[in-house]
Amino acid sequence: MNSINLLPGWALSAANMAPLQLALQSSLPAFTVYNHELPPMQMSSLETDLEQLAASLEPGWLMGWSLGGTLAVQLLRRFPERFCGAVTIASNACFAARADWPEAMPADTFKAFFSDAREKPERILKRFALLACQGSEDARELTKQLQWSDADPLQRLNHLALLGVLDNRIHLRRATQPILHCLAAQDALVPASVAAELQALNPQARVRVHPEASHALPLEQPEWVAQQIAEWVRQT
């Protein structure tokens, strides 16, 4: 299965994954790397939506940024015969904190962000861009590089609801396929301190943390991410 599927994060275009796509093609020349947009999805039709998403992807490896990583784990659990492993990039087992999973965005912060996304759909993108790039050495320039998806405000809100509700802890704990988590030490949305918890969920998984990058890890440090993936895939 020499195919790699890339999935972007919330509200973001697949174009943001192009630097990582190029880096992976260089690091893993025997693989074909496909860059996909996130389709419309919502909790009420999640099973059907995941089936349709799986059918649109190439059999092989799943690699996703933030929400894309959350969905990659969901797909890996449901379609193990189609996908052989998953990489999550700046992605958490639970994006919003739970009482028994505090290393995540505080629940009240997420609720406020969701409310703003519903009431001020255009302004929330600017706020998200600032958060995604916060911690980068060149946050202002990185913010300018972010490209938004063509999803309408309702689709973005539905995607955000998925991000807040989905809980991948059981899936990660029971996973038998290989999993790699790439985190960033300066991430303002997914705390790097969750690394130990992710490792504890599945001791067979590999966890790597970039010492300086922000949540925009695949756009900010594509060569580093590609290096971690290439080493992991070869060893796997």
- Tokens for 144? 């300018």
Q: Which of 66, 136, 149, 214 is catalytic?
A: 66
CB 49, CB 71: distance < 8 Å:
no
Note whether 86 and 61 are within 8 A (CB).
yes
The owner of tokens 């609801």 is: 161
Please state, in angstroms and rounded to a whole number, the distance separating the CA atoms of residues 86 and 229: 10
CA distance 23 to 33: 10
| pLDDT value, residue 236 | 86
Here the tokens at position 86 are 């998953």
pLDDT in tens, 172-202: 999 999 999 999 999 999 999 999 999 999 9
Task: Compute the CA torsion angle 39, 42, 45, 49 (nearest 10 deg).
Answer: 20
CA gap 177, 165 in Å, rounded: 24
Residue 187 appears among annotated catalytic residues: yes
b/e map 145-160, b = 16+ CB within 10 Å: ebeebebeeebbbbbb
Contacts of 46 (CB under 8 A, 6+ apart): 162
Domain count, the chain: 1
The single residue listed with the structure tokens 């050495």 is 137
pLDDT at 148: 97
Q: Which of 159, 171, 181, 215 is catalytic?
A: 215
CA–CA separation, 208 and 86 (whole Å):
14
Secondary structure tally for the chain: helices H, strands E = 11, 6
Distance CA 36, CA 226 (A): 17
The range of the structural domain enclosing residue 201 comes to 3-235
pTM of the model: 0.97
Look up the CATH number of the domain holding residue 116. Answer: 3.40.50.1820
Q: Which residue has the tokens 């067979």?
A: 204
Instruction: Read off the amino acid at residue 68.
Output: G
AA identity, residue 175: A
Q: Comparing C-alpha atoms, which of 57, 49, 63 is closest to residue 91?
A: 63
Distance CA 103, CA 82 (A): 31
Q: Which amino acid is at 87?
A: V
CA distance 223 to 233: 15
Residues of the chain scoring pLDDT < 50: none
66 in catalytic set: yes
Residues 13, 91, 187, 214: which is the catalytic one?
187
